[in-house]
Amino acid sequence: MPTWDIFCRVIDNYGDLGVCLRLARDLAQRGDRARLWCDDLSPLAWMQPAPVERLSCRPWHDSESAAPGDVVIETFGCELPAPFVAAMAARPARPVWINLEYLSAEGYVERSHGLKSPQFSGPGAGLDKWFFYPGFTERTGGLLRERGLIDSVEAHDGAAWLGARGWAPEPGERVLSLFAYPHAPLDELVQALGPGWRLLLCPGAPQTALPPLLRAGQRATALPALTQADYDRLLWSCDLNLVRGEDSFVRAQWAGRPMLWQIYFQDDGAHGSKLEAFLDQSLADAPTSLRSNWAALSRAWNRLGPWTAEAAQALRELPAAASHAAAWRAKLSGQLDLTAALQAFARRAGGA
Ligand code: TRH
């Protein structure tokens, strides 16, 4: 049973920790031992309050006196503590050292996935670091998808789950979840949605900014921070999910429901080409009108394009978007998942 050390620095928001927690938990649930080292463990109080067998979550600095396990995952270039790297280099059986990168559908991902970076200086001199890229194709590391996930989504009774929490739509009403950054164009969204919506607002700025903007026939409810497992169930229950960043974005794709992604904004504008690459890949097999309407809506929601008639039309064609979301999910779920890909990679590289 190999031991995995997963290192995470919280830059802002919760995405980095959210991804690391899912990976660590998935490894533990598959029978490996996982240690998650993080510089801010406080969000775990709501993301994962219950203990998980074989998973331990520890403060970053405690790693400085720890003996490295068989596989070490440095996430998103977080730079491991030097004493830990020195201990890796001194270990008789060298651990496999993997840098797990951010998710993107851009072409560089396939080209860079699995590349080796030999370390010539510093405490890790003599070790190799491997670059591992999640992605949407067989030539990447894939996406986190725990065993049995799609069966759980399909067995889920969304109406009952929402009803038990007081979040169910009235007859004839549709329901959406909204998890968004403060700069989201909320006024344009509620205008384009039209009447007949219950909006479930996840924690964040929209909980106060959106209610005054509501149009006739719309109502909003502020949700508390949910556990990751319950956030997933929320996504499985809604007619439309507005998600952001990286982890909620992936989970919404597994929900197999229409999804609108607010990409993480980058000052240099790099998020524009990242969004286009995802739209190109995920909508490639969609009917032409759905493809152009949904792309227009996605650009508008990210302030990368105007709120055109096409963008508004996308929201009137949710049944077509739902069929496409299910087809896209079926395509993705035919690929190897990220945890299994990492396990296979680590075995080949000699650590697990
Ligand atoms: O936190 P995010 O906005 O995005 C991240 C970070 O900003 C990060 O720095 C950036 O590099 C990356 O995006 C691209 O959104 P994300 O990724 O969806 O992470 C949110 C996590 O919070 C995810 O694991 C789901 C979880 N969550 C809950 O557990 N309960 C909740 O109620 C909600 C709303 C989210």
pLDDT (tens digit, 0 to 9) for every residue of the chain, 352 residues total?
Answer: 999 999 999 988 889 999 999 999 999 999 999 999 999 999 999 999 999 999 999 999 999 999 999 999 999 999 999 999 999 999 999 999 999 999 999 999 999 999 999 999 999 999 999 999 999 999 999 999 999 999 999 999 999 999 999 999 999 999 999 999 999 999 999 999 999 999 999 999 999 999 999 999 999 999 999 999 999 999 999 999 999 999 999 999 999 999 999 999 988 888 999 999 999 999 999 999 999 999 999 999 999 999 999 999 999 999 999 999 999 999 999 999 999 999 999 999 875 5
β-strand partners of 37: 7, 58
Structure tokens at 75: 């996430």
Task: Give the fold, CATH level 3, of 3-143+336-349.
Answer: Rossmann fold (3.40.50)
301 CA to centre of ligand 1 in angstroms = 18
Residue 115 has a CB neighbour count (10 Å cut-off) of 12
- This prediction has a pTM of 0.97
Smallest Cα–Cα separation from 8: which of 88, 79, 75, 82?
A: 75
Point out the residues that are catalytic. 16, 246
Q: Distance between CA 247 and CA 102 in Å, rounded?
A: 10
3 CA to centre of ligand 1 in angstroms = 26
Burial of residue 30 (CB within 10 Å: 0-12, 13-18, 19+) is middle
Q: Taken in order 314, 135, 342, 132, is the CA torsion positive or negative? A: negative
Q: Could you give the 3-state DSSP secondary structure of residue 226? A: coil
Those residues with Cβ within 8 angstroms of residue 25's Cβ, 6 or more apart along the chain or in another chain: 34, 48, 52, 55, 146
Please write down the long-range contacts of 269-275, taking CB distance under 8 Å and 24 or more positions apart.
Answer: 271/302, 272/304, 273/106, 274/104, 274/105, 274/106, 275/299, 275/302, 275/304
Smallest Cα–Cα separation from 175: which of 213, 134, 223?
A: 223
Fold match, 3-143+336-349 / 149-333: yes
Mutate to test the pocket of ligand 1, among 183, 207, 242, 246 (most ligand atoms within 8 A of CB): 246
Break the chain into its structural domains and give their ranges.
3-143+336-349, 149-333
- The CATH homologous superfamily of the domain defined by 149-333: Glycogen Phosphorylase B; (3.40.50.2000)
Smallest Cα–Cα separation from 235: which of 179, 177, 180, 320?
A: 177
List, chain by chain if needed, residues with CB within 6 Å of any ligand 1 atom: 11-16, 18, 47, 102, 179, 202-203, 225-226, 228, 231, 244-248, 264
Residue nearest ligand 1's atom 24 by CA: 18
E strands of 296-348, at which residues?
none
Q: Distance between CA 119 and CA 129 in Å, rounded?
A: 7
Measure CA 72 to chain center.
21
